[in-house]
Amino acid sequence: MTAYVHINLRVIDPVIQANLAPRFKVALEEAGGKILHFGPVAEVLEGDDKPLPFAGVFEFPTLTQALEFYNSEKYAPIKAERRQAQQAKMFIVTTD
């Protein structure tokens, strides 16, 4: 069951964001994940809520691997910095 982590975000500290981005990519790939998309939201199709300006989609082979990465010691300091650099909403969806 493939897992997709979706993040919708606004960068609030570009210096911290620029510093953590390459470390995030390395940690994600070491955990078996890959970046499918990271960039501006192109178009809102439905809904009243305005999304934050950027979105990312990260793929993991399984939900377990996605959760292990999110809760890992390797990601913990990156996650703490990310929370200083971004306002974000994050969730996971899976395939059957």
Instruction: List pLDDT tens digits, range 42-65.
Output: 988 998 788 899 999 999 999 999
Question: Which residues of the chain carry a pLDDT beneath 70?
Answer: none
CA gap 56, 14 in Å, rounded: 16
Q: Which amino acid belongs to residue 58?
A: F
CA gap 80, 40 in Å, rounded: 23
pTM, rounded to two decimals: 0.90
Burial category of 22 from C-beta neighbours within 10 Å (exposed 0-12, middle 13-18, buried 19 and up): exposed
Domains and CATH numbers, the chain: 3-42+55-94 (3.30.70.100)
